[in-house]
Amino acid sequence: MSRIYSIPGQGNGPLIEKKSVSDFFDRRAEKIKTLGPVKAVIYQDKQSGLAEARNAAEKFKLLPLLRLDGAQRVLDVGCGTGRWVSDLLPISSFYHGIDACEGLVAYAREQFFLVPNCCFTVASADNFSLQSIGEKLTFDRILCAGVLIYLNDEEVLRALRCMANALSPSGLILLREPMGVDQRLTISEHYSDDMEQIYSAIYRTRGELEALIAKVMPAGSFRLAGCGDVYDEPTLNNRNDTKQQWLLLERI
């Protein structure tokens, strides 16, 4: 049970356990009945209205960044409960959500059963290909919101490679992540009073994430088309050491 800040120059701190992450999300899927589909993936279980306010502010900020005009195929990596489907589908031609958690995918499938141009697949963010998720065509847009914090660095590199391989020419990848403000913070098997669950995650600094991105998406093939804070309203950020940020990557 620990919260560990990495000391610059002394390595990147402990790894997080895949099993701890998958147990956490299996339990979140079970809790959808009581929490609803937004809190299940945004958390803040005991804070009335905060998850919903964050959901609205995030979509207000991020949706325009995707530059969707109805013609694009969208891949949502780590789609969770399908929180983005109703916002993305009306302005895209096809939506495919993938997630490692069977319970969350089952919920999303049930919610969007028979909705045209929409499907979900159980798949790991760091081990998928177009073929493995049953697709023939690449995606014009890839959204990956709040997922990379549950992956160790090697897995993040693999996930970024999988996304790059699934992306169309001139396509965009939008990453939304809670990031360490000054330092990387690793939370390993930490009991959260708010969620009443054991939690593990890695809050990388933006510099660390950009360094990983540069290894997979070099300057000649991708450019950083933008980055910034997700919330303009200070009360939506209730932590000092981490902050929700976004990065937009464009294939060139």
Rounded Cα–Cα distance for residues 143 and 223 (Å) = 16
Minimum CB separation of residue 220 from ligand SAM in Å reads: 28
Q: How far is the CB of 54 from ligand SAM (least distance, A)?
A: 10
CB closer to ligand SAM, 38 vs 217: 38
Nearest approach, Cβ of residue 10 and ligand SAM (Å):
27
User: What residues line the site for ligand SAM (CB under 6 A)?
Assistant: 21, 25, 41, 78-80, 83, 99-101, 104, 124-126, 145-147, 150-151
Q: Which is nearer to ligand SAM, 125 or 202 (CB)?
A: 125
Q: How far is CA 233 from CA 1, 146, 166, 247, in A?
A: 32, 19, 34, 19
Residue 251, token pair as written in the block: 């294939």
Residue whose CB is nearest to ligand SAM in the complex, by number: 80
Closer residue to ligand SAM (CB): 83 or 96? 83
CA-closest candidate to residue 50, choices 58, 99, 223, 215? 58
Give min distance, CB of 9 to ligand SAM, in A. Answer: 29
Least Cβ distance, residue 148 to ligand SAM (angstroms): 9
Of 7 and 196, CB closest to ligand SAM = 196
Which residue, 79 or 89, has its beta carbon nearer to ligand SAM? 79
Identify the CA nearest to 140 among candidates 75, 82, 59: 75
Beta-carbon contacts of 69 under 8 Å, excluding residues fewer than 6 positions away, are 91
Reduced to 3 DSSP states, what percent helix, strand and coil does the chain have, rounded to the nearest 5? 35, 30, 35
- Residue type at 231 in one-letter notation: Y
